[in-house]
Chains A and B, each alone.
Chain A
Amino acid sequence: MYKYDDYDHAIVQARVAQFRGQTERYLAGSLSDDEFRPLRLQNGLYIQRHGPMLRLAVPYGLISAAQLRRFADVARRYDCGYGHFTTRHNLQLNWVKLAEVPQILADLAQDELHAIQTSGNCIRNVTTDHFAGVAADEIADPRPWAEILRQWSTFHPEFAYLPRKFKVAISGAANDRAAIQVHDLGLQVVSNDAGEIGFKVYAGGGLGRTPLLGQVVQEFLPWQHLLTYTEALVRVFNRYGRRDNAYKARIKILVKALGREEFSRQVDAEWAPLKDGPATLTAAEVERVSAQFAAPAYETLAPDDLCYLGHLREDKAFSRWVERNVQAHKVPGYASVTLSLKKAGAAPGDATSEQMEAAADLAERYSFGEIRVSHEQNLILADVPQRELYTVWHRAKAAGLASPTVGLIQDLIACPGGDFCSLANARSLPIAAAIQERFEDLDYQHDIGELELNISGCMNSCGHHHLGAIGILGVDKNGEEWYQVTLGGRQGNDARIGEVIGRSFAAAEIPAAVERLIGAYLAHRHADERFIDTFDRIGEEVFRSAAYLPKPAHPHQSRRVANG
C-alpha cells in the first residue's frame, strides 16, 4: 500500500497544526459558529445529537494492521470503544469531545491517518472496489489511480468551497463493485485496442433527494489526462453549479439541467487549455505510485488445499461461512475473506476496538498486514491462503466477525440514522435490528439467498436505499417516523434506482412488510433465482400487493410448520 514520504507527512502534520489553531480560535470565541462550520466539516467534524462526530478517512478503503490498531486505540481513548464503518470506507466516532479532536488528529498522523475532506463542500474520499488487486475480472488495479486522485484533490486550492460535496469512485474491474454510476464522478478503467489504459468517465450520478445515474462524458480518456480532465470538470461544477439551494447544488442537477452533450461540451472547452499542461500525468509518477501497490509475495500453492477441502466437507458451519464470506482469488491457493460487521444485535458497520484489533491481528498473521473496508460496511482480508481459512474462521468467530451472512438479508446496509445523525428524519438502527431479528434463523436466510436490503434515515441516502433490491427510507410525517419502501434497485454495471411502491409504513409494520415481500419472492421464484431476478421477471405489482396485505401472512412460520 502507499507509504508516505516526507512530503506527505509534512502536509498531514501541517493540517494537524492548522486545525489545532482553528479549534483554539473557535473555543476562544474568535471564530464564529458560521466561520468554523465549513472548516471543521472539511476535517470530518460534525456537531451531532450527542455532541461531535468525527469521520476519519480510509482512502480508497485500504488500511494497514497498524492503522487499524490506531483506530482501535483512538476509539478507546477518546470515544466509547467502538466506531462505525460507513458506505464510503470511512470510520465514524460518535462520542468525541471537540477540545480533544486536535490531539486525536495528532495521534492519527503518526500512522499516516487523518480526517481530511471527509465532509464539507469539497472533493471527498475517493472510493473503490474492495477486491482491487485480487479480483479475477480486473482490467487494472484502480488503487494507484485512486492514490493519484487523493493527492490531487487534497487541499486543491481551487476546490475548497464547491457548491456542494463531490464524490469520486473508481473501478478497475469488469464488474463494478464501487457503485461508480451513483457518484458525482465515476471512473471505469478501460483498455483500448492498442492495450493502452484509459477511463470511461461518468458524471452527475448520485443518490439523495434526486437519485440519478451518471452520464457518460468520456468513452476513453487516456490516463495521462486524468487530472487535467477532472480539473476541468470540477471547475465547470464550481463555476456553474447552483449555490442558491443546497438540495439542487450537486453536479447531477447541473448535468441534468444542461444535458449530457452541453455539459460535456463545456467541460471539453474548459479542458482544452489545461490539456497537456503541467498537471498531465507522467509515466514516472504512475510507476512510482503503482510500485507501492505491487502484489505481495504470494507463495506458490496448490489450487486446492486438501485439509481445507476436508474441513469444508466435515464442518457445515464452516462451509456455510465459506459459501457466503469467502471469495475466489486470482492467485491459486489464496482466497479473500469478508469479516462481517453485521452481527445481529450490533449496528451494521459498527466495530469495537477489540474487533478492530482482532481484524488487525488476522491481517498481520494471514493476509500481508492489510485490510480493506467495503462499501457494504464490512472488512476484507484480501489475501488469505486457503490452508489458513479454517483457523481464520475460528478466530474471526471468537471476535464476533464471522456472521456467515455476506450478501444475505442480515448483511443489510444502514446509516447511523436518527439515533446519532442530526440530519436524519427517522432512526435506521432499530429498523435494521428488527429486520435482522426477524430473519435471524440462518437456514431461513440461506434459503432466501442473496438480497440487498439498504436503509437510510433520510433523503441524503447514506444507506444507499435506492440501490437496495429492497430499500427503506426514513421520512418525517408530522413529527413521526415513517418508512418508505423502494423495490428493484441494484448496484453494479446495471445499476438501477429502486422505485417507491406506495404509502409509507410505521416502524412497527416494517419487519412484517419485508417478510411479506420475501414471501412473495419465495412463492414465485424459480430455482436459483435471486430476489432481484424474480422481481425483474414478474414485476412490481405482485410485490406491491403483497406488501400491503391487510392481514400479514407468515410464510416463515408456516414454512417451518410445513417442514415439521
Chain B
Amino acid sequence: MANKQIIKERRLQDDAWKVVTLVDGEAPFDVCLPVGPLLVPVSVWKAKKSCLIAREYEHGTPLGIWLAPEDDIAEIAADIDDFTVIAVHFPKFTDGRGYSTARLLRERYGYDGELRAFGDIGRDQIFFLNGVGFDAFVIGEGKSAEEALAAFDDFPESYQGNAVQPLPLFRRRAA
C-alpha cells in the first residue's frame, strides 16, 4: 500500500502503511516484517507482539493491525489502545461483517484511532462505512477514489444514530 493514496478526512492523502499477509502455509512467526508502518494480521500480532512493540519503542514505527471478517475482536481487546491504525478487510463488498466489526470497535471497545476499510469497496459503500465508524478508506482495485469522495453526502440524514451523529433521528426530531 506504500505511496498509494487513500481517503482520509474526506480527501485523498498519501499513505505509507503496508498490509502484511501470510502466504499459504507460512507460520505467523516466520513472516518477514518490512521497514515502515505495518498492518499485520491478528495471527502475526499474536505471534510477534513483542517484536512489533520493540519496533515502536526503538524506531517510533506506529503499530497497526488488520482484521478479517471472521476475526474475533475479543482476542485483541486488551491491545486496542496500542494501535495507531486498525484496518478491516472486505474480501467482497457483499460481505457485511466488517460493518459490525467497526461498530463494536468504536462503541464497545472505545477505539478512537484511525479505522480503515480496505478491500473490495468503492463509492457505493462509502456512506454506510462512514456511518459505522470508518474514517479512512482504501478504494478497491479498478475503482475511482475521486468518485468515492462524492458519496459521503449521498444521504442528508440517517434514521439511526451513527458514528457521525450518535443520536438517532427520533431523538432529534422530537425536540
Do A35 and B122 touch (CB < 8 A)?
A: yes
- Whether A273 is near chain B, meaning CB under 8 Å from some CB there, is yes
Instruction: Among A17, A154, A161, A238, point to the contact of B159 (Cβ < 8 A).
Output: A154
In the complex formed, the residue of A with least CB distance to B166 is A278
Chain A residues whose CB sits within 8 angstroms of the CB of B21 once the complex forms? none
Known: A156-B160, A157-B131. A238 touches B96 (CB 8 A): yes
Interface check A151, CB cutoff 8 A: yes
Is the pair B171, A155 in contact by a Cβ cutoff of 8 Å? no
State A239–B101 Cα separation when bound (angstroms).
Answer: 8
**Complex alpha-carbon distance, A288 and B96, angstroms:** 33
Contact with B along A14-41 (1 / 0, CB 8 A): 1101100010000000010001001100
Judging by beta carbons under 8 Å apart, are B127 and A157 in contact? yes
Cα–Cα distance between A17 and B108 once the two chains are bound (Å): 34
Partner of B95, one of A7, A35, A155, A243: A243
Pairwise interchain contact A158-B132, C-beta atoms closer than 8 A: yes
Most buried by A among B157, B158, B160, B171: B160
What 1/0 flags go to A156-189 for Cβ under 8 Å of B? 1111111000000000000000000000000000
Give the chain B neighbours of A494 by CB distance below 8 A.
Answer: none
On whether A239 and B128 interact (CB within 8 A), knowing A7-B173, A278-B166, the answer reads no
- Please tell me if the beta carbons of B169 and A7 are within 8 angstroms of each other in the complex: yes
Chain A residue numbers with a CB within 8 Å of B127 are: 157
**Alpha-carbon distance A284/B103, docked complex (angstroms):** 27
Q: Are A288 and B94 in contact (CB under 8 A)?
A: no
Separation in Å of the A293 CB from the closest CB of chain B? 16
- On chain B, the residues within 8 Å of A35 by CB distance are 93, 122, 124
Known contacts A10-B157, A14-B155, A35-B122, A282 near B99 by CB under 8 Å: no
Across the interface, do B157 and A161 meet the contact criterion of CB distance under 8 Å?
no
Question: B154 on the interface (CB 8 Å rule)?
Answer: yes
- Mask, B101-142, CB within 8 Å of A = 1, is 001000110000000000000101001111110000000000
In the complex, A460 Cα to B122 Cα: how many Å? Answer: 31
Query: In the docked arrangement, what's the CA distance between A15 and B132, Å?
Result: 19
Interface code A132-161, partner B: CB below 8 Å = 1, 0 otherwise?
Answer: 000000000000000010011011111111
Which residue in A5, A158, A273, A278 is a CB contact (below 8 Å) of B100? A158
Complex: A185 Cα to B94 Cα, angstroms? 22
Nearest to A5 among chain B residues (CB) is B173
Q: Check: A121 CB closer than 8 A to any chain B CB.
A: yes
Q: Is A159 within 8 A of B157, CB to CB?
A: no
Query: Cα distance A14–B127 when bound, in Å?
Result: 12
B32 CB within 8 Å of chain A: no
Contacts A155-B155, A157-B132; is A279 near B160 (CB within 8 Å)? yes
**Residue from the list A10, A31, A282 in contact with B170, Cβ < 8 A:** A282
Minimum CB–CB distance from A263 to chain B (whole Å) comes to 16
Q: Chain B residues near A39: list those with CB within 8 A.
A: 124
| B interface footprint on A256-299 (CB within 8 Å = 1, 0 otherwise) | 00000000000000000100001101101100100000000000
Q: Assuming A5-B173, A238-B99, A284-B174, is B94 touching A161 (CB within 8 A)?
A: yes
How far is the CB of A215 from the nearest CB of chain B, in Å? 22
Query: In whole angstroms, what is the CA distance A400 to B166 when docked?
Result: 51
A238–B94 Cα distance when bound, in Å, is: 11
Chain A 98-122 interface mask (CB, 8 Å, partner B; 1/0):
0000000000000000000000010
Q: Which of B142-175 contact A (CB under 8 A)?
A: 154-162, 166-171, 173-174
A121–B97 CB distance below 8 A = no
Q: How far is the CA of A156 from the CA of B122 in the complex (A)?
A: 18
**Least Cβ–Cβ distance between B26 and chain A, in angstroms:** 24
| Residue from B128, B155, B161 within 8 A of A278 (CB atoms) | B161
Residues of A within 8 A of B108 (CB): 273
Contact of A235 with B by CB under 8 A = yes
| A/B interface sample: 21 pairs, CB < 8 A | A7-B157, A7-B173, A11-B159, A17-B154, A38-B93, A154-B159, A155-B155, A157-B158, A158-B128, A158-B131, A161-B93, A235-B100, A238-B100, A239-B97, A243-B97, A278-B161, A278-B171, A279-B161, A281-B170, A282-B174, A285-B174
Show the binding face of A for B, using Cβ within 8 Å. 5, 7, 10-11, 14-15, 17-18, 22, 31, 35, 38-39, 121, 148, 151-152, 154-162, 227, 235, 238-239, 243, 273, 278-279, 281-282, 284-285, 288
- Chain B residues with CB under 8 Å of chain A are 93-97, 99-100, 103, 107-108, 122, 124, 127-132, 154-162, 166-171, 173-174
CB-CB nearest 10 A-B residue pairs:
A161-B96, A157-B131, A157-B128, A285-B170, A151-B159, A14-B155, A158-B99, A284-B174, A278-B161, A10-B156
